[in-house]
Each structure stands twice: as structure tokens, then as C-alpha cells.
Amino acid sequence: MIAGIGVDLCSIARMEKAVKGDHFVRRIFRPKEIAYANAKGNNRARAASFAAAFAAREAFAKASGISMYHLTLSSRICLEREEGQPPHLVVPPELDDGFTWGYKRAWVSLSHDGDYAVAVVVIEATAGP
């Protein structure tokens, strides 16, 4: 059953300016996200990766009803991308243990074109405890 849907659009140019300083990057993104973006090489591709990850957080916040403040500054979620696998969100148990126990799943779709990155998150609720 679908428990929530969220979508967000993020400007890559705006993110490119924001990630010039390391403070914003370390405050918002997890080490795996930083490593993935840094591996992209040039500044534009790096910013596009960060923009997609940020949009995924915003979309998750909208789908789950959890405030963006709580997602970014306390119990942070992480967008993981592994070779040959679709991107997925790792939700810490202190944020929502339904994801840890497998009662919920977040489906993520990312795209970027031109100056924008977009993310769609669908939260699926499965049979609970």
C-alpha cells in the first residue's frame, strides 16, 4: 500500500554555489554521498549529484511527513547509489524503525537535465508487526 508520495526539484546552479564550501557539504550530506559526488569529477557533475541527493531528501520529507530540519540536522537519511543497483534511501532506525524492520520501503527515482535535478519518492507500507 502506498503510504506517501513526494517530489522535489533542485537547481543544479544553486547547488554548485552551495557546495563550493565544505561546511554545507559536511552538514547536509553523508560520507557515501560525498564520495559518490566527488567521484564525478567536474564541478557541474558533482553539483548535479548533490542536487539529486538533496531533492531526494526533500521528496522523502514530503512523502513521510517528517520535517526537513529533522532529516538533515539530526537523524540523517542517506541516498546510496551502488553500481548496477537503483538508488535507495537508507533511513536510520531512530528516524523511523519501520524502514529498519522492513515494514516500510522508500522507492526513489532521480533525474537531472539542464539546470535541474528532480527526485520522486514513494513510500510503500507493507504488513506491519
Q: Which residue in this structure is represented by grid cell 502506498?
A: 2
75 has pLDDT over 60? no
CATH topology of domain 2-125: Ribosomal Protein L22; Chain A (3.90.470)
pLDDT at residue 57, as a whole number: 92
58 has pLDDT over 80? yes
The full set of domain ranges for the chain reads 2-125
- What is the mean pLDDT of the segment spanning 71-85? 79
| Beta-sheet strands, E only, within the chain | 2-11, 78-80, 88-90, 104-113, 116-125
